Amino acid sequence: MDHNHATSFVIIYLMLFFQFKHFIVNFLFPYDVPRDTKKPFYDLSALRHSFFHGAGVAVCIVLALPNMIGFAILAGLFEHVAHHCIDTAECKIKDISSNKLAPAHFRIDVDQLLHQLTYIAILVALKWWNLLVLGHTEIG
C-alpha cells in the first residue's frame, strides 16, 4: 500500500468516524442544549454537550491514527470550542429583513453545515500538521 493509498483511506474513515460521532452525540445522547437566546454563552449543559463532541473527535483521531495523540488533543479542543460557538450562535441568528430571530429550521440548517465544515477543517489541519510539525508529506 503506497502513501497516497493509505492517506486516502485515513481521510475517508476519519470522516466516517466523525459522522457516527456526530450522530451519537447530537442525536442519541440526552438532548438538553439550550435552544433559545436567553441562555448564556457559558451555560453548563451546552458546554458539556460540546465537550462530548470534542472528546469524540479526539477519540476518533486516536482510533484512526494511534500515533497522533498530540494532534488528537488539539483537534478535540478545537472541536469543543467551535461546536460551542456554533451552537450558541445558532440560538441568536436573526432574520436580516425583520431583525427577529430566524426560523428554527433555518438556524438548524446553518448549524449542521457549519459542523460539517468544522470536520473538513480538521482534515485539512491534519494534512498541515503532518507536513509542518512532523515533517511528513503524507498521512498514514
Partner 1 sequence: MTTVPIYLLVILLLLLQLKHHYLDYRNQTDDEQLAKTDLFRRSAIIHSIRHGAATALCLIVVFPAHPLFAVIAGAADTVVHHLIDFFKTRIEGWNNSLIGHRYIWGVDQLFHQLSYLALILVVGCVLH
The footprint of partner 1 (CB under 8 A) covers: 2, 4-5, 7-9, 11-12, 15-16, 19-20, 22-23, 26-28, 31, 105-106, 109, 112-113, 116-117, 120, 123-124, 127, 139
Cβ proximity to partner 1, 22 vs 83, nearer residue: 22
Cβ proximity to partner 1, 41 vs 109, nearer residue: 109
Cβ proximity to partner 1, 69 vs 120, nearer residue: 120
C-alpha cell at 56: 469524540
Minimal distance, residue 23 CB to partner 1, in Å: 5
Residue 21 C-beta-side C-alpha neighbours within 13 Å: 26
Distance separating alpha carbons of residues 95 and 30, to the nearest angstrom: 29
Q: Alpha-carbon dihedral of residues 15, 123, 10, 110, nearest 10 degrees? A: 10
